[in-house]
Amino acid sequence: MAHRSLGSIIRCCRYAELLGITTQVFAVLDDADEETRRVIQEHPALRQQDQTFDLSFGDVALSRNYAIRESKSKYVAIIDGDDHVSPNWLGAAFLRATKAGGASIVHPQTIVSFGATSIVRYQPDQIIVKIDKARLLMSNLWNVCAFGPRELFIDVPYVSTGKKDSGFGFEDWHWNCETVASGYLHVTALHTVYFERHKSSGSLNRVHQQAGAVIRSSRLFRQL
């Protein structure tokens, strides 16, 4: 899975560079096993400018924040390590971000779930459709795949869900709530697709669902 997902990301980078966009991949290994570490660090598609980080947070929020702080790029894209993206994603996201302005977070237009479930859904664009913010009390409107200015991710970092038995989960849902509370708009890039792997067991989302986890309190909830 790691090999194929990284290959998908590199294809995205190559497409973006055809448009004159410079890219750099940060492959973040957080408590990875030896086989995963070997596959990523020795991946033949990695370029000279790409980097791998071998971390031991055991927490996706903290590992993302670490990589974002290490980055020197103007824009940042978050992509889960076992999913896939359409080759045009980074290029289209960059163009949408520059058009929408610095207060926007860009997501893929379409989510295709595969694996344990097969679902196709479209993500809402706050510039095109008025979104009732109260919907975020009940459901996560946007997938973890997000693109925006680095300063935005520094301004609103991901918040750790804590230990596995903390009762909290869904750090990307919480981040979406916090960014909306901060006045950022969530938009989509036309004709882009994110292929989201659904596992029958072993995924962090499934663990949170089975444990009945809830998201941490957000400033958004106090604004409603």
Residue type, 147: F
pLDDT for residue 135: 95
- Please give the helix or strand (H or E) that residue 93 lies within, else none: helix 89-100
Average pLDDT over residues 89-104: 94
* Structure tokens, 46: 């990695």
Closest C-alpha among 5, 7, 3, 66 to residue 40 = 3
**Residue 206 above 60 pLDDT?**
no
Average pLDDT over residues 10-23: 97
Task: Using DSSP, state whether 219 is helix, strand or coil.
Answer: helix
Average pLDDT over residues 137-155: 96
How does residue 167 score in pLDDT terms, banded at 50, 70 and 90?
confident
Closest C-alpha among 148, 149, 143, 170 to residue 158 = 170
pLDDT for residue 208: 47
181-191 pLDDT, tens digit each: 999 999 999 99
Percent of the chain with pLDDT over 70: 92
Average pLDDT over residues 159-187: 90
pLDDT for residue 138: 92
Report which of residues 211 and 119 the model is more confident about: 119
* Structure tokens, 21: 């966009």
How does residue 201 score in pLDDT terms, banded at 50, 70 and 90?
low
Mean pLDDT of the chain: 92
pLDDT for residue 166: 64
Instruction: Count other C-beta atoms under 10 Å from residue 196's C-beta.
Output: 22
Report phi then psi at 81, rounded to 5.
-75, -5
Alpha-carbon span 64 to 184, nearest angstrom: 19
Domain positions in the chain are 2-223
Architecture, CATH, for domain 2-223: Alpha-Beta Complex (3.90)
Alpha-carbon span 154 to 209, nearest angstrom: 28
pLDDT for residue 44: 93
Report which of residues 83 and 165 the model is more confident about: 83
Residue type, 205: N
The pairing of strands 185-198 and 84-85 is antiparallel
How does residue 224 score in pLDDT terms, banded at 50, 70 and 90?
confident
- Decide if 114 contacts 37 (C-beta within 8 A): no
Beta-carbon contacts of residue 139 (< 8 Å; ≥ 6 apart): none
Beta-carbon contacts of residue 35 (< 8 Å; ≥ 6 apart): none
